[in-house]
Chains A and B, each alone.
Chain A
């Protein structure tokens, strides 16, 4: 039996993980357009680290309290607190008088990473499957995670439908939007709230590396391949979903690590976008 037919015959196993991966890729691809255009690519990396730290903190607290560490909803909740909180703080940080905003992002990234390593070092009971708990496992995604991802995607879609014009105006030209009466802090907060909401649940499904990749690569390819903002959103969403889906199928059939395959497929999509841009001048 070929690898592909073997894959097709095992649909009961891959259906939920594939659906979750496609949803996560599309969601992050869409949000990535804002991440790239607002030039906050490394904010998304810092939020992924903070989300990981949130999971480690929840596991540590559960262990200290001698409670079951299987409660993934508690891990996700704490990860959301860290990720959304970090998003609101880092997203609101402007140009400082003494330090650039990037230094805050850098400090959040390395400190969250270091604290996650230190925290993981103190975990005793869950050390054996820590990797799955922290970085997810796209190969085996329970249906419950698909439902959470659908709900998060719906919330993000709703907020971005209701407030898109305000979020775009505040992101494109904060100074003017503020002067003309748009509540830029509120709508910047809505944007970073949605990014912070998406990261932990997506990281749990596809892992930290693909999250960072999907927030950067599909949007970059879309911005190269298109000339308008709405087409860029549509193409970035589609490319994120395609990269996640094709990466998942490719990793299964070629027996490769799932997250890395997804990132490689996403990276491969930039090449035709760049070539298209070059051809059109």
Chain B
């Protein structure tokens, strides 16, 4: 299967200055890749390079063309000042496909309505976006990405700032959407425990440590790999069918 997008021996960075070297990764149809690392570790740089918004400083990026991308930003990056309904926001997902010189048509609105229904908010179409709860806003932004009919769904810290219940709910939704239609998902997060039960593959990135590793969940959730990422011992155990990941408590001196 041809990958949707791949980086080969890429150095990632800005203005000709490489922050992370030796990045090779391919995202295939149906993939679910979670990119984990500390804040400021280079996750967004990697995502922007994968999406073609940033050219690799060295190495090569290739992608199928055209590649329909659905993008979900952190919800606090979206300005609540705008007097838009949830339906208006989701309809924006149809803008790239519609092309210039014409307004959105009835079929675009219909596709947007279906997308909002897929995330369970079909009855909030006319509700002002700014009056939605944090979780509802995030789902609306996911619906906007889905409305584009994407082959690749890219999410930037989609559960950032959510309470545990809302985080689980958002991740369950992503699993459902991913399982349903062969969409590839690339998601970045600084919380490993948020993605450890959902992703198929994991990548660790931290520019300060010069760290770049990618592999299957089983390969990456080994204590040795995790200790490299976090710089301390990490425990991985299963409970009730879910993986729990947490740092081992430091031994206290008597």
Contacts and interface: CB of A to CB of B under 8 A. Distances in A.
A180 B96 CA distance: 7
Chain B CB count within 10 A is highest, among A175, A176, A232, for A176
Interface in A160-197: 162-166, 168-169, 172-173, 175-182
B145 to A, nearest CB: 8
Contacts of B92: 165, 168-169, 172-173, 176-177
Interface string B45-79: 00010010100000000000000011111000111
Given A169-B95, A173-B78, A180 B70 contact: yes
Contacts of A227: 83, 128
B73 to A, nearest CB: 5
B144 A166 contact: no
A38 to B, nearest CB: 9
Interface in A80-129: none
Contacts of A226: 83
Interface stretch (B97-105, B196-204, B230-238): B97-105
Interface in A202-231: 223, 226-229, 231
A165 B94 CA distance: 10
Interface string A36-69: 0101000000000000000000000000000000
Given A172-B78, A176-B73, A227-B128, A166 B83 contact: no
Contacts of B48: 179
Contacts of B51: 179
A163 B104 CA distance: 11
Given A173-B92, A176-B144, A180-B148, A229 B84 contact: yes
Given A226-B83, A227-B83, A229-B84, A166 B73 contact: no
A179 B78 contact: no
Nearest to A186: B100
Nearest to B88: A229
Nearest to B66: A181
B71 A172 contact: no
Contacts, number: 78
Contacts of B93: 180
A163 B100 contact: yes
A228 B77 CA distance: 20
Bin the interface of chain A by size. 20 to 34
Contacts of B88: 228-229
A172 B84 contact: yes
B183 interface: no
B160 interface: no
B61 to A, nearest CB: 15
Contacts of A179: 48, 51, 53, 69, 71, 73, 154
Contacts of B95: 165-166, 169, 177, 180, 182
Contact of B83 (A173, A178, A232): A232
25 contacts: A37-B79, A163-B100, A165-B95, A166-B100, A168-B92, A172-B79, A173-B92, A175-B73, A176-B71, A176-B144, A177-B92, A179-B48, A179-B69, A179-B73, A179-B154, A180-B69, A180-B95, A180-B96, A180-B145, A180-B148, A227-B83, A228-B85, A228-B88, A229-B83, A229-B84
Given A166-B95, A173-B92, 18 more contacts: A39-B81, A162-B100, A165-B92, A172-B78, A173-B78, A175-B71, A176-B71, A176-B78, A178-B53, A179-B51, A179-B69, A180-B95, A180-B145, A182-B95, A226-B83, A227-B83, A228-B88, A229-B84
Interface of B: 48, 51, 53, 69-73, 77-79, 81-85, 88-89, 92-93, 95-96, 98, 100-101, 103-104, 128, 141, 144-145, 148, 154
